[in-house]
A and B are shown apart, each in its own frame.
Chain A
Amino acid sequence: DAKTTQPPSMDCAEGRAANLPCNHSTISGNEYVYWYRQIHSQGPQYIIHGLKNNETNEMASLIITEDRKSSTLILPHATLRDTAVYYCIVRVALGVDKLTFGKGITLSVRP
């Protein structure tokens, strides 16, 4: 079973920041938070991951609360191409721990 909960959907205006929430209240100390997204008719795509510090890359920023029970993925300037299902996943980073996907959150970016 997925260890995260996400709202089913949200939308935002093109050019604005999209803040996607995720709850992972049972996360263990050795589990990381990963985000993937899946654009229609494509396979999932890795976005970002983190342990406890905030992380930023060319695609997004990840903000993890101090107690690590929740996180937010931020797309700073959403475009129409960011319309997708976004999956928040917790997994152990060491060794092999398969990705367990939930239903994700559907982000719709409107013009």
Chain B
Amino acid sequence: DTGVSQDPRHKITKRGQNVTFRCDPISEHNRLYWYRQTLGQGPEFLTYFQNEAQLEKSRLLSDRFSAERPKGSFSTLEIQRTEQGDSAMYLCASSFGQDNEKLFFGSGTQLSVL
């Protein structure tokens, strides 16, 4: 399977714990996006990378959230001191970054904060 891969698929944690998610984009895709989706809503943009550079962050991305993409390949999204409101599906997408780009999404990581 050469699609976007996300790990883990599910994560249950207790409030106050730190969690980290990983995204492996499609090989050679230079753009990588993180989105968050809650039940009944469409995905909300969090941040995106062009190669290893993080070029835009949503105001939804509080100081407790940090994303990295070392060497422009895989990416990690860390949430520190999780809160119940962080419970959501975290989606990763990648693209070639050309005009009229098509985003390819992974299946997401479902986070439940108890």
Interface, chain A (partner B; CB < 8 A): 2, 32, 36, 41-46, 49, 85, 87, 93-96, 98-104
Give 5 pairs: A residue, B residue, CB < 8 Å, sorted on A.
A43-B4, A46-B102, A49-B100, A101-B43, A101-B44
Q: Are B99 and A44 neighbours in the complex by a CB distance under 8 Å?
A: no
Residues of B within 8 A of A102 (CB): 42
Residues of B within 8 A of A45 (CB): 105
Inter-chain CB contacts under 8 Å: number: 54
Return the 6 tightest CB-CB contacts between A and B, nearest first: A43-B105, A101-B42, A46-B102, A93-B100, A98-B45, A101-B43
Q: Does B56 contact A (CB under 8 A)?
A: yes
Q: A43-B106, A102-B42 are in contact. List 6 more A-B contacts (CB 8 A).
A: A42-B108, A44-B93, A98-B33, A101-B42, A101-B44, A103-B40
Instruction: Tell me the chain B residues, 64-111 only, with Cβ under 8 Å from chain A.
Output: 91, 93, 97, 99-100, 102-108
Q: Does B31 contact A (CB under 8 A)?
A: yes
Cα distance, A102 to B50, chains bound together (Å): 24
Residues of A within 8 A of B21 (CB): none
Residues of A within 8 A of B100 (CB): 32, 49, 93
Q: Are B102 and A43 neighbours in the complex by a CB distance under 8 Å?
A: no
Interface residues on B, range: 20 to 34
Closest CB of chain A to B58's CB: distance in Å? 9
Q: Are A99 and B99 neighbours in the complex by a CB distance under 8 Å?
A: no
Residues of A within 8 A of B106 (CB): 43
CB-based nearest A residue for B9? A41
Q: Are A44 and B105 neighbours in the complex by a CB distance under 8 Å?
A: yes
Closest CB of chain B to A61's CB: distance in Å? 17
Tell whether A43 pairs with B42 under 8 Å between CB atoms, given A93-B99, A94-B99.
no
Q: Are B93 and A103 neighbours in the complex by a CB distance under 8 Å?
A: no
CB-based nearest B residue for A98? B45
Q: Are A87 and B42 neighbours in the complex by a CB distance under 8 Å?
A: yes
Residues of A within 8 A of B102 (CB): 46, 49
